[in-house]
């Protein structure tokens, strides 16, 4: 058993998280993550209304009595999102931990803290993590450039970013981006993190609510099978490499290109309907990290978590001490 400030603070067995993933963070997957001893997050905005989120929370509780949280991603949208109503549902439902992401969590932190809800904020730079700490969040999940989703514009990989955040912050740091194995967890712990957050690895599980073609594609892909899009528009995003993401990249490079030129290709609804649901792997943009190159199978959440923890324990207990012992008699 690996015990850290994360496991003690959030009351879970293992220092692993399944962060919020739009369209995937629903009761079936998150309850399985919780039952496996990790901390999973329902995604609030996957549910069309706050009332639907309340029902999804209840469905999750019917499937597990282990801790789980809710992700609240705060982003500019064409249609206004009733964030205050989603926040109220989270509080009234008795959720103990929230993962915030996107814009500053400032409008929400005080409300969550007053209700006894712990807040983990996802950041992609040390400067943003420091600001989040000043707002009173309980932990920061720091996202390296390897991650799926929006890694920011600084292009700092996890090896540096996790260590830099751990040095700059006094609150717990969770490592995120490009982690899918026990070795990755150990590396994160050695850099000063107290846990590792995974998204792509949990996509390749039997409980993930996506088409089997997506899961098989993640296993088949290498670490080179992602691409960064939207850089030209100041909103870099790492997605899986396919015909649509390559077309988005090609159009975006043209002089004078605007997001409107690729919006029909980049539509989240298109990716969810055509790829994640229908399994048409070349027909929409979908999110995946460079960790694809480390994922060798599709398995249950329980087996994935148990394997990662067992491998991490073996590395800590056996492999690393041998390295130290082998130099003990050296001159």
List, for residues 32-56, the tens digit of each pLDDT value: 999 999 999 999 999 999 999 999 9
Higher-pLDDT residue of 313 and 331 is 313
> Are the CB atoms for 124 and 157 separated by under 8 Å?
no
Q: Which pLDDT score, from 0 to 100, does residue 80 have?
A: 87
> Is it the case that residue 78 has pLDDT exceeding 80?
no
Does the structure show a pLDDT above 60 at 182? Answer: yes
Is the predicted pLDDT of residue 327 greater than 70, yes or no? no
- Report long-range pairs for 39-43 (Cβ below 8 Å, ≥24 apart): 39/10, 39/12, 39/67, 39/68, 39/69, 39/97, 40/68, 40/69, 40/202, 41/17, 41/68, 41/69, 41/70, 41/71, 41/99, 42/68, 42/69, 42/70, 42/71, 43/70, 43/71, 43/73
Q: What is the per-residue pLDDT for 116?
A: 97
The kind and range of the H/E element at 141 are strand 139-143
Query: pLDDT tens-digit profile of 203-249?
Result: 999 999 999 999 999 999 999 999 999 999 999 999 999 999 999 99
Cα–Cα distance for residue pair 129/127, rounded to 1 Å: 5
By C-alpha distance, which of 87, 93, 97 is closest to 41? Answer: 97
Which residues 6+ apart lie within 8 Å of 52 measured at CB? Answer: none
């Amino acid at each position: 058993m690996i015990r850290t400030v994360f496991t003690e603070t959030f009351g879970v067995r293992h220092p692993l998280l399944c962060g919020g993933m739009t369209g995937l963070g629903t009761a079936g997957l998150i309850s399985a993550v919780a039952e496996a001893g990790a901390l999973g997050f329902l995604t609030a905005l996957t549910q069309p209304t706050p009332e639907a989120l309340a029902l999804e929370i209840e469905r999750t509780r019917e499937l597990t009595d282990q801790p789980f949280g809710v992700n609240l991603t705060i982003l500019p949208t064409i249609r206004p999102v009733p964030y205050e109503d989603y926040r109220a549902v989270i509080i009234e439902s008795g959720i103990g931990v929230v993962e915030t992401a996107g814009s500053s969590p400032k409008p929400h932190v005080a409300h969550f803290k007053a209700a006894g809800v712990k807040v983990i904020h996802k950041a992609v730079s040390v400067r943003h993590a420091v600001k989040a700490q000043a707002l009173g969040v309980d932990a920061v999940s720091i996202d390296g450039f390897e991650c799926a989703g929006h890694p920011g514009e600084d292009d700092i990989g996890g090896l540096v970013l996790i260590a830099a955040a751990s040095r700059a912050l006094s609150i717990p740091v969770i490592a995120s981006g490009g982690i899918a194995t026990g070795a990755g967890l150990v590396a994160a712990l050695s850099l000063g993190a107290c846990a590792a957050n995974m998204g792509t690895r949990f996509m390749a599980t039997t409980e993930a609510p996506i088409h089997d073609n997506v899961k098989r594609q993640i296993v088949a892909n290498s670490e080179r099978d992602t691409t960064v899009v939207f850089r030209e528009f100041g909103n870099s995003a790492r997605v899986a490499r396919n015909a649509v993401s390559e077309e988005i990249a090609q159009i975006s490079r043209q002089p004078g290109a605007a997001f409107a030129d690729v919006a029909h290709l980049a539509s989240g609804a298109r990716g969810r309907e055509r790829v994640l649901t229908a399994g048409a792997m070349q027909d929409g943009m979908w999110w995946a990290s460079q960790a694809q190159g480390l994922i060798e199978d599709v398995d249950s959440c329980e087996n994935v978590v148990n394997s990662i923890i067992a491998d991490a324990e073996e590395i800590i207990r056996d492999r690393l001490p041998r390295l130290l012992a082998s130099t003990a008699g050296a001159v």
